[in-house]
Amino acid sequence: MKLSIAVVQFNPVRDNIKKNIRKLRRLLTGIKSDLVVLPELANTGYLYATPEDLLPLAEPQDGSGAFLTTLRELAAQTGGLIVSGYAEVAEGKLLNAAAAVTQDGVIANYRKTHLFDHEKALYSSGDTGFQIVEWQGVKIGMMICFDWIFPEAARTLALKGAQIIAHPANLVLPYCQNAMITRSIENQVFTVTANRVGKEHLDNLHLTFTGQSQVTTPGGKILYRGPTRKESVHVVEIDPERAVNKRLNTNNDLFEDRRSSLYEID
């Protein structure tokens, strides 16, 4: 079985959802793919001073807002599932979320478990836990950006059966792309990190996003690593069945060999 994956790297403009939608329409023109992964907070950009500044731009997960409605249209155009980060509003709370969207609407919604730095001043902590969505017979897990630094995130998704981990990101630290190679190896899964590019400034805070969006195999091979500064779309083809077998050799199985009782902390 073959599955095509499009990893989209672009520079979302802060406080301009219409422009970000236009960018995505342009980038995905002519793209056909079973799975499309977009960066974290692709609708709003990243830096905001207060929750009140961001709240008018956030959308409910029901797909009624302009950004998620557009993702439905783009899913119909690409012929696949789109996983994208976005700013969500629910019961007056802001959440850093990722939606899995088909032409029929949102089929899964994940809220970021591990908030990074100043995000803690904007967003409520995610409460969904790590979830699996099944698409075309393939099990796909979602995590967002800083979740990468906690091995438990990818391991939980893998234990739940994920063959692919879709990973929308706004990375500023230099470690993640290489760390995701390890996440792929230790869980024997494909990982798809869709990172953004560009810079944002807010008062004395200056961020440069690292680009280098990446697709990695269960064996740790980098199928694709994007440019550092340019917007791009790249499509790779994988065999998701490669992520089913967790056996490394005759005597070792990554999951069967786990000794959970010895991992507990008193």
Candidate list 23, 59, 112, 200, residue with the active-site label: 112
| 145 flagged as catalytic | yes
Q: What span, in angstroms and rounded, lies between the C-alpha atoms of 9 and 17?
A: 16
How many angstroms separate the first and last alpha carbons of the chain? 45
Sheet with 190-194: list strands edge to edge.
132-135, 138-142, 164-168, 190-194, 214-216, 222-225
Candidate list 40, 59, 119, 200, residue with the active-site label: 40
| Cβ 96 vs Cβ 40: under 8 Å | yes
For residue 84, the SS3 value is: strand
Backbone angles phi, psi at 155, to 5 degrees: -65, -40
For residue 203, the SS3 value is: coil
Candidate list 23, 88, 119, 145, residue with the active-site label: 145
Give me the pLDDT at residue 266, please.
78
| 176 flagged as catalytic | no
Give how far Cα 17 sits from Cα of 12, 49, 85, 131, 207, Å: 8, 18, 13, 27, 20
Give me the pLDDT at residue 196, please.
98
| Cβ 180 vs Cβ 148: under 8 Å | yes
DSSP letters spanning 210-258: ----EEE-TT--EEEE--SSS-EEEEEEE-GGGGT--BSSSS-BTTTT-
Give me the pLDDT at residue 98, please.
98
DSSP letters spanning 4-67: EEEEEE--PPTT-HHHHHHHHHHHTTT---SEEE--TTTTT-S--SSHHHHGGG-B-TTS-SHH
Give me the pLDDT at residue 1, please.
86
| Cβ 85 vs Cβ 95: under 8 Å | no
**DSSP symbol at 151:** H
Please give the chain's pLDDT, 266 residues, in tens. Answer: 899 999 999 999 999 999 999 999 999 999 999 999 999 999 999 999 999 999 999 999 999 999 999 999 999 999 999 999 999 999 999 999 999 999 999 999 999 999 999 999 999 999 999 999 999 999 999 999 999 999 999 999 999 999 999 999 999 999 999 999 999 999 999 999 999 999 999 999 999 999 999 999 999 999 999 999 999 999 999 999 999 999 999 999 999 999 999 999 97
| 237 flagged as catalytic | no
Q: Has this prediction a pTM greater than 0.85? A: yes
Give me the pLDDT at residue 178, please.
98
